[in-house]
Every structure is written in structure tokens, then in C-alpha cells.
Amino acid sequence: MRLTKKGGGMARKNEKISSTRRQFLIRVPVLTAGLVALMKTPGRAWVPTGNYRRRIDSQMCINCQTCVDVCPTNAIVEGNDTCVVNATLCIGCQVCDAECPVEAIEEGTEIIAPTVYTDECVACGACTNECPTNAISVGEYAVITINACSGCRKCVDSCPVQTLG
């Protein structure tokens, strides 16, 4: 590919940008702006769903303890002849799924993250101090990272102005 000087700048000769790529690049700012507007809508919070705690099928588990070693929250422990998931500690990260040699780990109960009512949040940080998985960050208001939330709801109990629900 040769670069030629054209109009005071460099232009690529004989190169065309595909219409699909061009359309994508045009739409990205619009989609991003839409998501930001949705997140900043007063009285609402953008909380994605679909994160599930894991469950181990005791009939398939061979008790190799590979899942115990890779679990980032120590939610999986050795039980009698099988490994067991502590649902309170499980954040649904699915690290254990990929490591299980017999595919004994599957979806369990859905983790429901609390909703942050953004127009009422005073960004005091009380929720971050109580969160056992560090799933909450506070800027203008509290934001919950769904992949890290365990669904324990300790943040809800700790909020002094009750903006988490």
C-alpha cells in the first residue's frame, strides 16, 4: 500500500473502507450515548441480569478438587465424595466450569444484584465498605458490577438513605 500526499495530509491510495465497517463506526457513538443516558436516568439503575451461581452435580463429580483450587472466592469446598458450592460465596464467574474435567458444574440459582436508585444515592460509600466481593464502586453514585456481585444484599442493609433495593 502506498501513501500519497494529498491536500496537506497523507491519504491511502487504492484503499476503500467497507460500508459495513463504516456503518459500525458511525453507530458506535450513538449506541454508547444511549447506554450512558439509560444509566444516568434518574430513579433507575442499569443492572444487567443473567449471572448464575454454580451447582455441582454430585452424580457426575469425581471429587478431583480442581474446582476448589481455581475458585476465586473459595466458594467450593470438599464434601463427602463430592465437591460442594457455597451459594452465599459463589459469584457465578464460571471459572470452575472451564476447569472441571467431567463437566459436573452447571447453572444454579440466578444472582439478583440490587438496584441502585441513582437520583437518591448520596455516594457515601457505605455499601462499598460492606460488600464482601468488592462489586461496588462509587463515583457520582454507586455502581454494581454484576459479575462480581454475590447477591448477599449486605449493601442494601448498610445504605443509610435506602437507595439500594
Tell me which architecture the domain covering 52-110 has in CATH: 2-Layer Sandwich (3.30)
110-137 tens-digit pLDDT: 777 888 888 889 999 999 999 888 889 9
DSSP annotation string for 30-81: HHHHHHHHHHT-TT--------EEEEE-TTT-----HHHHH-TT--EEE-SS
pLDDT at 33: 46
Structural domain spans, the chain: 52-110
The answer to whether the pTM exceeds 0.75 is no
Residue 140 in this model has a pLDDT that exceeds 50? yes
Mean pLDDT across the stretch 94-115? 85
Name which residue leads in pLDDT, 116 or 28.
116
Mean pLDDT across the stretch 90-114? 85
